[in-house]
Structure 1
Amino acid sequence: MTWMTLQTAMADQGYIASGDLAMALHLSLSLGRPLLLEGAAGVGKTEVARVLAAVQDTQLIRLQCYEGLDAAQAIYEWNYQRQLLAIRAASEDGETGKAVEARIFSDEFLLERPLLKAIRQDKAPVLLIDEVDRADEEFEAYLLEILSEFQVTIPEMGTITATTRPMVILTANGTRDLSDALRRRCLYAHVPYPDLETELSILVTRYPDITDRLCAQIVGFVQALRKQELEKKPGIAEMLDFAAALMGLGVADLTDDPVVLQATLTTLLKTHVDRDAIPTEIAQRLAGKAA
């Protein structure tokens, strides 16, 4: 699959990828290297992994990162409750020592978390490590062994090497700087907000029945809104929700009803500060320019 056929296949799944992003994905697949996607929240980074899994007809395994995430939650942990029951049963049967230890530290009692699960699949999955910059810096050390060797060391079982190498997508929103060591192990692509033409294509792909006029107004309005001083700029998902709301209400023109326009901003602006920053007058002015 070339980068152009990959781009087309992603479009067939409803994702309009830029040439740069399609090339980065193609190189990631062909070189077997993880791909780090950086960009603002809402630009479609997470969706890349979902669409790639659909294009490759494989499983998507997701690790959602957060502050305090550790190896037990990301890689593996032991089923302690079952182990205790097994130890009790073994004791009643007269079993002791290494035989019991070997049994309770086996696959039967191992709980796979996303990172371990991803390297033990018969068919290479897409592994999404989402918002990696939300995890603590210490957690990156856990990732390095997997991203460099695609293996996990479990003290009680030894080293588990990947059955197949997963296709790895990492996303980051700029919450903190990532380490150089992690960046060196990845290819890189920046995912910006889509330009006007791309966002029009995204909207038409999702809602093919939308009129040309309303489509142009929605995209123009949302792009103008992103240029305002907002805490959280609306992303692609918010733009699509806005379009769905307007179409569901039977709105044919964005400038027809200021009350409806202001009310539907609930799909775009997600904090009270941002809602207060865009009163009816400003919303109408932006809609008028978009028209």
Structure 2
Amino acid sequence: GRLIGFDCDPQSLHWAAQRLARFGEAVVLRRGRFSELRKHLGELDIEGVDGLLADLGLSEWQIRSPRFSFQAEGPLDMRMDPDLPRTAADVLADASEEELTEWLRRYGEEPMARAIAREIVRRRRRAPLRTNRDLVEAILQAVPPSRRPRRKHVATRTFQALRIVVNREMEELEALLAQIPEVLRPGGRVAILSYHSLEDRRVKQFFRREAQGCLCPPHFPVCQCQRVPRLRVLTPHPIRPSGEEVRAHPTARSARLRVAERLEGRPAPRREEHGNAPAPLP
């Protein structure tokens, strides 16, 4: 068998190549994004795969890098792929207060989204926000001490939301999910590691939808939609890291792993064979 690895960060690929060099031609590494999965497999003459592991998070070195960290001084970048045209500074310079508020609420689940967005707009009228420190200072000014979280830095949610926007992470995840049933062979398994509730919720919803069969109204005596389940969920509850894993890798604390198996694709059952609907996943 072969391992095909993809990453949009050239530095990550460089380090992976060094670590996996001993496996020779059994490992193929390509630079690419989730949305380009089928394209790269096609260029390698691969029609289907037996397993797919997608890690949606940052590596530990990326988390500490000035490109992403609010604790490191550096330019406001946040691009996983350095060839992307817009940095975080560009996004902050162009977005309206309404857009910033929506992004912070949706992608950061930030309760102080409006106040932070207003402060960003107020400050950029005087001078552009160009560094991590510029953004952190705006957040500190917008969020009074009584409203700051106790267990995480007050800038965590804003930096997460901005990173998601810059890298179009949710769009890339949607593109990946859409390709899974097409590239995964029957019996093959897909495992997805997510690190915040927005990603985990979307993966859960996708697995649940693809595990459903007939969607016809209950009064239909025979299935008309011919919908066929394409996945079988193997993890009714997400797998979380053990205490030992968290002690060894504190950044894995929020990790959630969900796994599903590709089905052969059988005809939808008759209405009388449907039985109870599958229980919703957590």
TM-score interval, smaller chain: under 0.3
TM-score by structure 2 length? 0.23
TM-score by structure 1 length? 0.22
Q: For CA contacts below 8 A with separation 6 or more, give which structure has more relative contact order.
A: 1
Higher helix share: 1
